[in-house]
Structure 1
């Protein structure tokens, strides 16, 4: 569900960016619907990439934390 919300959110941002661009140019907002679809697809792919990057970053952080914990455990003598 998080992936879908990420992609849809980025797609909507792409649509708003496209509409803002046409508004600044004072052009008809429904002039080129293909441009809207392209903007939504590009930003949606950006959302997909951001989701995958977030997952990978979480994995890397977990690996690094485990590595640091293992080093700290090996470096300190057991106090029993």
Structure 2
């Protein structure tokens, strides 16, 4: 549902931007309804890619955190092994 909500939210923002543009130009708000659809579609597409980017970033971050945890575990094991070897000597 987050994907749909994000697309709809961005589309509504695109419509608001279009209406604001026409208001600044002092043109009738219903002068070109195709322009409204283009703005809503463009912003909705941006909303879709925002969700996709967020999901990809979450996966990449999880992978990096796992790599960092593995490196830390190996360093701790190496330090423990060196400390044990130093105590035996």
State the TM-score, normalizing by the size of structure 2: 0.86
Name the structure 2 match of 1:34: 34
Name the count of aligned residue pairs: 79
Listed as ranges, the gaps of 5+ residues in structure 2 are: 82-89
* Offset of residue 76 of structure 1: 0.5
Gaps of 5+ in 1: none
Deviation at 1:58, TM superposition (A): 0.3
Provide the TM-score with structure 1 as the length reference.
0.96
Question: 1:1-80 alignment to 2 at 5 Å?
Answer: 1-77=1-77
**In structure 2, how many angstroms separate the alpha carbons of the residues matched to 1:40 and 1:69?**
43
Runs of 4+ in 1 over 6 A off after TM superposition: none
- Where is the helix percentage greater, Structure 1 or Structure 2? 2
Instruction: Give me the whole-angstrom Cα distance separating, in 2, the residues matched to 1:55 and 1:69.
Output: 21
RMSD over aligned CA atoms reads 1.1
